[in-house]
Amino acid sequence: MVHEILPVGVLQCNCSIFGDEQSGDALVVDPGDDLAEIERILARHHLAVKAIVITHAHIDHIGGAHKLHVSTGAPVYMHLDDEKLQDIMGLQASWLGMRMPERAAIDSPLRDGDVVRAAGQNFHVMHTPGHTPGSISLWLPPEKKLVAGDTLFRDSIGRTDLPFGDGEQILRSIHEKYFGLPDETVVVPGHGPLTTLGREKQFNYFLQGM
């Protein structure tokens, strides 16, 4: 399986490209920006995008979704509880001094327990609200990989002081949804370096006493 992670945009959001060499199908998570670079990686692996998954509707994660949808025809998957963040995209753009991207239409609403089949893999959807109401995480059992969006980082957790954030809810999400996964699970956070769940349980200040 191809799994390329590239930091995109001013906030260096980790965009993941999962690809299946056999079928040439790809799933792209959080194409926030830098579409040319994403397309270069897809071309290098001879991949065609079949699904675009948004972990949450912050501009650094969703900003390039409409463009990628238009250029590939792939459906956009997102939890509808984050539509209210799409409604304030102009405000989000102003925080970063960016131009407002065109709104991505959500083709496939995601719910907790859904399985997105793409790129030769089953991506298990976990609703992990707190950083935003519609934040989701993707769990790949055979790879023991967790794409966490901005819910969990190496040594930190997602901020909850932005509109619709909830500090108690993010801790509940981490405890209820992540703590049942194996310690060796590789966490792909929304920003910064990869980590493992075991490492975060041991050293992450925010997860102590859970």
CB-nearer residue toward Zn ion: 19 or 134? 134
What sign has the CA pseudo-torsion 156, 162, 167, 173?
Answer: negative
Beta carbon of residue 153, minimum distance to Zn ion (angstroms, whole number) = 10
Residues lying near Zn ion in the complex (CB under 5 A) are found at 58, 60, 150, 190
Beta carbon of residue 173, minimum distance to Zn ion (angstroms, whole number) = 14
Taking CB atoms within 8 Å and a gap of at least 24, the contacts of 180-185 are 181/139, 181/144, 181/146, 182/144, 184/144, 185/144, 185/145, 185/146
CA 148 to chain centre: 6
Beta carbon of residue 102, minimum distance to Zn ion (angstroms, whole number) = 19
Residues 6+ apart with CB under 8 A from 175: 210
Q: Are strands 25-29 and 48-53 parallel, antiparallel or unpaired?
A: parallel
CB-nearer residue toward Zn ion: 58 or 145? 58
CB-nearer residue toward Zn ion: 20 or 150? 150
Beta carbon of residue 131, minimum distance to Zn ion (angstroms, whole number) = 6
CB-nearer residue toward Zn ion: 45 or 66? 66
